[in-house]
Amino acid sequence: MQSIQALQHVPLIQKLMELRHELDFHQAKRVTQRRRQPNYGVMPGQVTPEMQTFIDEFLAFHRAEGKWAGQQLKAIRPSTANLWRQALLRMWGYRLKHDPVPPQNEACPELLTVFPVKTKYRQAKTYAELKLVEVDAREAADETMEWVYRYIGWLRQERQVSRTVEANVYCVLIAVAKFLHHGETDSLKARDYQDIPVIQALRAACKKGTRSVVKTAGSIDESKKWLEWPEFLQLVQQLKQECQTHYRHGSRRSDSSIAASVQRYLIAAFFAYLAPDRQRTYRELEVGRTLCKGHLKQGQFTPDEQGTWWLHLEPDDYKTGETYGTQWQEVPAELVPHLEDWLNRWRDVFKPQHKLVFTQKNGKPYPNSGSFGSVLQQAARRLTGKAVTPHMLRHMLITHLKLNGASDAVMGSLAEAMHHSEEMQRRVYDRRCPQQRTQLAQKVVLDLAQGKPLSRSATGRPVTVEALWEDFKQLSPEEQRQIRELLLSQGSV
């Protein structure tokens, strides 16, 4: 039987593929109108020995925490290492194929100009020589930024990349600069390479790019990925109903299809019944380590098979762990039956070769966010027509709560549970349009103009029994009597 790759060269197949791209139903599946473009990076077969040596040493530096002089950083994850490797190949591809200023070393094109800052400072004997070192260091940084700006400009014009992609380019270049200057930073005088001018320049450009992420419209049509939060909860219930073991006409479903349904529901339910964390938390769930059963009392956990299920995250288990530290979160009772059914029965259908909770059908763990997120994305597209992603759920919940007037206390607690700052919540995750953001203020001003008292949503006071009692005591005796009569007439007192 001919392979799919071989059939793609048949003229009839090529014509059918072209027609498929022109059909409306095919285009509707994409969330962007931007055309896919060919890879401009250095291909695997084109990697020179010099490039491979650089990649190996660069990644070894960033993955071997504390083993290099002047390292000053934490070890990166394997998934990050792979992304950085691909980024290096793209940068080299640009320098070799598209940069109007060709590199001096085509075997391994230079990505920045290295300047031995600490060495030069130590060699300087006069004040004038010290000032000259500063000038030379700045010139080296400027030389680096010249090609970086050419690269960013080319990405914008020829590849129509988002500001997020630009910020990621700067982050990788900063990592390269740290590697090449690890022996030239003075950790006693400056933390995190603050004494290296090229890193200062790259950070400034990266910060500017990051700030513009939320100000710039991307190429993705988010309406094709967006559900209102009640719509997402309805989707979760539909996925729960799909966990049935038999079809409507009575015949039994295969074990693999049942297992796939149970896992699909659980993944969606974790995002629905817990404050939606980043997908990595659920993708890397492991029984006995980040998913534990037992009792938690005064910060002390005791394993117990008769206890309750808990999510347990140490600082290395999630993105902002250094800020928020060890986290414990109880798994809602609603999820427990399906979770235990999955762990004790259906997970084994896929014969997993690892200890993680969720698994691919081939028994291997989900290798990255894309493969894990596609489980939810494909289900949402099938049932709602929207390509919802796990990360979009964070935006959806925060926006829903903001639109429904959630208090500052609720939003602050949610930020803590979702492991990001309230500033990040406001600046990035809140997707209300300007009119929605100012709606409450407009109502308050109108109420004041009409002589109406401020509502609770305007004063920010929570609706509690205590607050209502305090309000009741502020009323006149006649107003209190009228309220009592009203309650008595309703049978409430």
In terms of Cβ atoms closer than 10 Å to its own Cβ (0-12, 13-18, 19+), residue 415 is buried
* Interatomic CA distance for residues 87 and 151, integer angstroms: 12
Cα–Cα distances in angstroms (integers) from residue 361 to residues 138, 261, 269, 348, 416, in the given order: 54, 12, 20, 10, 34
- So what's the pLDDT on residue 410? 82
Tokens of 308: 């309750």
Q: CA 321: distance to chain centroid?
A: 14
Does the pTM exceed 0.75? no
The Cβ of residue 397 has, within 10 Å, a number of other Cβ atoms equal to 19
Q: 376 and 275 in one domain?
A: yes
| 21 & 87 share domain | no
What pLDDT score does 472 carry? 75
Same domain flag for 11 and 146: no
Contact 51, 92 (CB under 8 A): yes
Biggest CA–CA distance in the chain, Å, is 94
328/397 same-domain check: yes
Please check whether residue 309 is in contact with residue 384, taking contact to mean a CB–CB distance below 8 angstroms. no
Flag whether 425 is in a domain: no
Closest C-alpha among 210, 208, 182, 206 to residue 195? 182
- Residue 133 sits in which domain range? 37-211
237 and 315 both lie in a single domain: yes
Closest residue by Cα to residue 165 from 177, 155, 175, 150: 155
Among 152, 183, 211, the domain-final residue is: 211
In a domain, 217, yes or no: no
Does residue 247 form part of some domain?
Answer: yes
Q: 148 and 82: one domain?
A: yes
Q: Is residue 452 part of a domain?
A: no
In a domain, 444, yes or no: no
Does 45 reside within a domain? yes
> Number of folded domains in the chain?
4
Residue ending a domain, choose from 187, 211, 235:
211
Distance separating alpha carbons of residues 126 and 21, to the nearest angstrom = 68
According to DSSP, the residues that pair with 450 across neighbouring strands are none
Residues 100 and 8 in one domain: no
Residue 38 confidence (pLDDT): 86
* Domain boundary pick from 403, 422, 454: 403
Kindly state whether residues 312 and 373 are assigned to the same domain. yes
In a domain, 260, yes or no: yes
Q: Is residue 446 part of a domain?
A: no
Taking the C-alpha atoms of residue 15 and residue 22, their distance in angstroms, rounded to an integer, is 11
Q: Are residues 3 and 55 located together in one domain of the fold?
A: no
Do 1 and 57 lie in a common domain?
no
What 464-468 contacts at long range (C-beta under 8 Å, 24+ apart), as own/partner pairs, is: none
Do 155 and 84 belong together in one domain?
Answer: yes
Give pLDDT, residue 142. Answer: 94
Instruction: Look up the CATH number of the domain holding residue 395.
Output: 1.10.443
- Do 46 and 9 share a structural domain? no
Angstrom distance (rounded) from CA 343 to CA 382: 26
Q: Consecutive 10-residue runs of the chain (493 residues): their mean pLDDT? A: 50 59 47 71 94 94 68 75 94 95 93 91 90 92 94 91 88 93 84 90 82 53 87 96 91 95 96 92 95 92 94 90 89 94 96 95 93 94 93 91 83 85 78 69 65 58 64 76 77 52
